Amino acid sequence: MAPFKTFALFLAILVPGFAQNLTDQYRETANRLINEALADKAGYEKLAYLTDRIGNRLSGSASLDRAIKWAVETMQRDGLSNVRTIPVKVPHWVRGAESAKLIAPEQRPLHMLGLGMSVGTPAAGITAEVVVVSDFDEMIALGRDNVRGKIVLFNAPYKGYGPTVVYRSTGPSRAAALGAVAVLVRSISPLAMQIPHTGALTYDLVQAKIPAAAISLEDANMLARYYAAKVPIRVTLQMSARLEPDADSFDVMGEIPGRELPEEIVALGGHIDSWDVGRGAQDDGSGIMAALEAVAIMKKLGLQPRRTIRVVFWVNEENGARGGAAYRAWLGDKIANHVAAIEMDGGAESPRGFGYGGEEGGGRGGAAKPPSAAEQSSTAMLQQIGKLLDHIGAAEISRGGGGTDIAPLTHDGVASLGLVTVGTHYFDWHHTEADTLDKVDPDDFRKCIAAMAVMSYTLADMPGRLAGTK
């Protein structure tokens, strides 16, 4: 038997119904969904209300409470079934007043934002000499004697979000281990526009907790030039950040029940919380509104897939990921009925396609693991679905997909996907005051709705199901 025929027979056995090409089987339905999505206005109007009328939505805030109440009402108005909430205890971090000021060799304010979950400074602030390093090795080479009692500035060049964000997330504790009194981090972004970027840090519990803030690329580079010229640098950092007791919050979900296998679930969504700067438009208002509108369009067109489609707005992705964990706990043994989970949390620029299989390359810090035979067959199925999105430029199926909110599902074997966009400007606006509605192009947003609708509907309706990548 020819190799291709052997492989096709293997796929047909492994995945019932695969023998019928999914591109041909779902072309008409996909075109209906795409055409409706590209003409849609309601999704962008909902995003405008969320961002302009409710605003940013940090965990524990009153504005997040308003957003959750509005989300429940909106899902009900869109005609979804089983609209409900899952209680979640979330961290309640309060930024408070904050500033950073260069004292020497000149006096001027620095463009700064405290890092999420940072402790505050004493009321009078911390004034100390600054040492500047490009990476952790440079800091270690300085040694404790040259770091103790000083503020460490991590001026790490941007090499992509994943490789660079470690200076924000772990830098404060690594500097504290050498006796630093505070940390400044060059914002995790490729764009220099005097815009600081916030984001969460994670303290090592065996080290002292020291205050930490991001500064703009321009300010970081200026301090680095002083340091290279051996000009002494002194900075005063003042932060009244504090952590309040955990607050009550909720995940929000609604469904289109399946017509044949209602107990089997395809979940799609993003996170309803955001940082307390900007309006949370790209991160992740666009994700939750695109997911909701994708399902609302199915409802409008009278489409009821074989399995249940569930749209989920997870809470507390930004500074705790407790919403994803609470959802997984709520599922319990019913996780076996989760056919797939799709997360959109990379902004709403023009979609390229979907990543599949959890973290790329076998997980952080691990060697790339070759895909199993079942994963290869699932990729082939996804490529057939991807062809349905070819004319909006979203046909690409890549390895590595998912996201923070669905990571607990991925870990327990649920097939996970993440919408992939061109990502041209996402990290220009990410976690800044500039994350506002005007950064979301309506046409690109509609393409994202279309991609989410076609992928989720087909996965929920097709005869077979994807393999997980546990």
C-alpha torsion sign, points 386, 388, 389, 390: positive
Q: In what order do the strands lie in the sheet with 126-133?
A: 108-110, 98-104, 234-239, 126-133, 151-154, 182-186, 212-215, 112-114
Distance CA 221, CA 192 (A): 10
Under a CB-based contact definition with an 8 Å cutoff, are residues 216 and 187 in contact? yes
Q: What are phi and psi of 383, to 5 degrees?
A: -65, -35
Distance CA 207, CA 57 (A): 30
What tokens does 276 get?
């307390």
Q: Which residue matches tokens 């302009």? A: 52
Per annotation, catalytic residue among 36, 255, 317, 349: 317
* Half-sphere exposure of residue 410: CA atoms within 13 angstroms, side-chain side: 22
Q: Are strands 234-239 and 126-133 parallel, antiparallel or unpaired?
A: antiparallel
Active site residue 317: yes
Question: One-letter amino acid identity for 240?
Answer: S
Q: Is 91 exposed, middle or buried (0-12, 13-18, 19+ CB in 10 A)?
A: buried
Map residue 272 onto helix, strand or coil: coil
Distance CA 91, CA 87 (A): 13
- Active site amino acids: 317
